[in-house]
Amino acid sequence: MAAHRIVFANEKGGSGKSTSAVHVAVALAAMGRRVAALDLDTRQRTLGRYLDNRAATMKREGLELPLPLYDTFDPAKGEDIHARLEALAAKADFLVVDTPGRDDEYVRAAISTADTLVTPINDSFVDLDLIGQVDPDSYKVRRPSFYAELVWDARKARGKRDGATVDWVVLRNRLQHLEARNMRRVAAALGELSKRVGFRIIPGLSERVIYRELFPKGLTLLDLAAIGSDASLGHLAARGELRELVAGLQLPTPASAPAPQAEPA
């Protein structure tokens, strides 16, 4: 089975894209899947630094934690993006790609090869504007925005190339920070837009301090038991969100995959 490619992309920064990508990659590795990860953000390199921190913590503290195979793509080295994606995909069941918050040829190349395209957004009209323009009075969607058209073109190109489809998933992050009426308006606009341009909507990760605290050591919510840390109710709720996120992606099960192991409570 060819590696299933999961591309996290959003031209707007601050949406929780890299945090979501890292947690999905580690969660899949914790399930016994062979996971590779590629960071396309050569400057900020958030995913790469997160996993660097994880590898250093494992070495320093003698921990055995699930760690995806990972690398950072650097066009300055003359690398070909398609060759780099193929090389990593050949070693994995799942290839997770984290992209920078901008539009460039490498991001478009990654999107065009995605099996699952994940667009995390903060649940607000500011982020929704990335995908569709909303009428200021009626809150109805006027038209798809540039990014939706970019994804549409990439999906058409993928279909012409190998007949495959791209499952586009919009991840609604930080839901609990919205005022209830505004949340309903955003949800309604997203629902209308999803029918017009063809994406699924799933809940993502909340805004929690724990994510920022775990970054320096490269740890995730799934590692708390391994490092001997007691999980608070908030941590348990966040871990439940992560489980829902991974389940919502509806990823295939590799034919050679081991039976899933029970997670610690």
What is the CA 29 to chain-centroid distance, rounded?
15
Task: Encode pLDDT of 177-193 as tens digits.
Answer: 556 777 788 889 999 99
CATH of the domain at 152: 3.40.50.300
pLDDT of residue 39: 98
Rounded Cα distance between 214 and 216, Å, is 6
**Is the whole-model pTM more than 0.85?**
yes
- pLDDT level of residue 202 (50, 70, 90 thresholds): very high
Per the domain annotation, does 254 fall within a domain?
Answer: no
Q: What share of the chain in percent tops pLDDT 90? A: 54
pLDDT of residue 5: 97
Per the domain annotation, does 35 fall within a domain?
Answer: yes
Q: Is the pLDDT of residue 143 over 50?
A: yes
Per the domain annotation, does 261 fall within a domain?
Answer: no
Rounded Cα distance between 147 and 130, Å, is 6
Beta bridge partners of 144: 132
Per the domain annotation, does 67 fall within a domain?
Answer: yes
Question: Once rounded to an integer, what is the mean pLDDT over residues 190-213?
Answer: 87
Q: Which tokens belong to 55? A: 């590898």
DSSP structure string for 246-258: HHHTTPPPPTTPP
Per the domain annotation, does 28 fall within a domain?
Answer: yes
pLDDT of residue 223: 86
Alpha-helical regions (H) of 134-263 = 146-162, 180-197, 209-214, 233-248
pLDDT of residue 265: 38
Question: Once rounded to an integer, what is the mean pLDDT over residues 149-162?
Answer: 87
Q: What is the DSSP letter of 73?
A: -
For residue 150, CA distances in Å to 9, 10, 130, 210 come to 11, 11, 11, 34
Per the domain annotation, does 259 fall within a domain?
Answer: no
Per the domain annotation, does 85 fall within a domain?
Answer: yes
For the chain, the C-alpha Rg in angstroms (whole number) is 18
Nearest alpha carbon to residue 3 among 22, 28, 27: 28
Per the domain annotation, does 263 fall within a domain?
Answer: no
Q: Which tokens belong to 16? A: 């929780």
pLDDT of residue 264: 39
Q: Is the pLDDT of residue 239 over 70?
A: yes
Rounded Cα distance between 188 and 231, Å, is 35
Q: Which tokens belong to 261? A: 């192991």
Q: Is the pLDDT of residue 199 over 50?
A: yes
Task: Encode pLDDT of 95-137 as tens digits.
Answer: 999 999 888 999 999 999 999 999 999 878 888 898 999 988 8
What is the CA 233 to chain-centroid distance, rounded?
24
Question: Once rounded to an integer, what is the mean pLDDT over residues 43-62?
Answer: 95
- pLDDT level of residue 263 (50, 70, 90 thresholds): very low
Q: What share of the chain in percent tops pLDDT 70? A: 89
Domain count of the fold of the chain = 1
Domain with 197 in it: 4-248
